[in-house]
Amino acid sequence: MSTSQNPLAGHMRKSMGNFTTLRSRSKNIIRSKPYEPIDPKTEGQLVQRSKFKLLTEVYHSFGGITNTGFVENMKNMTAYNLFLSINYHLVYDHNSKNPVIDYTRLLVSKGSIPKIKVLESNLTKEGIIVTFKTSLELPKVSPTDELTAIARLKNDELLIEFQVRGVEETGTIVLEYPNLKAEDVECCYLFARSMNGKLSSNSTYIELKLAS
């Protein structure tokens, strides 16, 4: 930015070319603008942008349920920001120029409650049945914790089920969807959240098997 006090210039205002002028405190002020906006598009930057774009689409595909899983260590960050920053370093093959999400590594929840141990997961005529260990002996684990099971189908449908952890040694949670096929499921996860909603666990990816 430069200022002009040249009486020959008189009052200056509006723009011309890449200059913008205005009058302030009896002075002519001239600001220059770059002829072309600075927006470098190197190959690496384009790949990075496509990765963020793809991960943003995945975030929105869960319909906001992941916000309940990112409630710790926010430090002025939103659940959306945490989802992107954490998963960006987890889900991609960094040697690949064409970004593809590895859903087995994706986290839909992250926190200090111990991760839920899945004992068995089956795909039946009723839907997805997941058996888990309650792990009540571990610190920060409570029988009143709310468990969230979520499956995203390839047709963009979401299956969601909530239930408390319970007091038994093991528990079962069911995502009902009659005649669901394994090839129709994009991904499936289970995570825990404290009753007051302030703590959560890392999500557990669920591998589906056909019930024998």
The answer to whether residue 77 is domain-embedded is yes
Higher-confidence residue: 27 or 191? 191
Give the predicted TM-score (pTM) of the model.
0.78
Asked whether residue 13 is assigned to any structural domain, the reply reads no
> What's the whole-number mean pLDDT along residues 128-152?
98
pLDDT category at 197 given cuts 50, 70, 90 is very high
Q: What local confidence, expressed as pLDDT, does residue 98 receive?
A: 79
For residue 76, the enclosing domain spans: 43-210
Q: Which helix (H) or strand (E) segment is 49 a member of?
A: helix 43-61
Q: Is residue 104 part of a domain?
A: yes
CATH of the domain at 69: 2.60.40.10
In-domain check, residue 21: no
* pLDDT at site 16: 59
What's the domain count of the chain? 1
Residue 38: inside a domain, yes or no? no
1 lies in a domain?
Answer: no
With a cut of 50, say whether residue 178 has pLDDT above it: yes
pLDDT of residue 13: 60
Distance CA 109, CA 97 (A): 27
The total of other beta-carbon atoms located within 10 Å of residue 173's CB is 21
Q: What b/e readout covers 178-204, taking b as 16+ CB neighbours within 10 angstroms?
A: eebeeeebbbbbbbbbbeeeebbbbbb
Q: pLDDT band at 164, cuts 50/70/90?
A: very high
Of residues 201 and 48, more confidently modeled: 201
DSSP 65: G
- Residue pair 99/107 in contact by the 8 Å Cβ criterion: no
Query: What are the tens digits of pLDDT across the range 145-156?
Result: 999 999 999 999
Residue 14 lies in a domain: no
**Is residue 195 scored above 90 in pLDDT?**
yes
In a domain, 35, yes or no: no
Query: Which is nearest to 146 in space by CA: 120, 171, 119, 122?
Result: 171
| Per-residue confidence (pLDDT) for residue 2, from 0 to 100 | 45
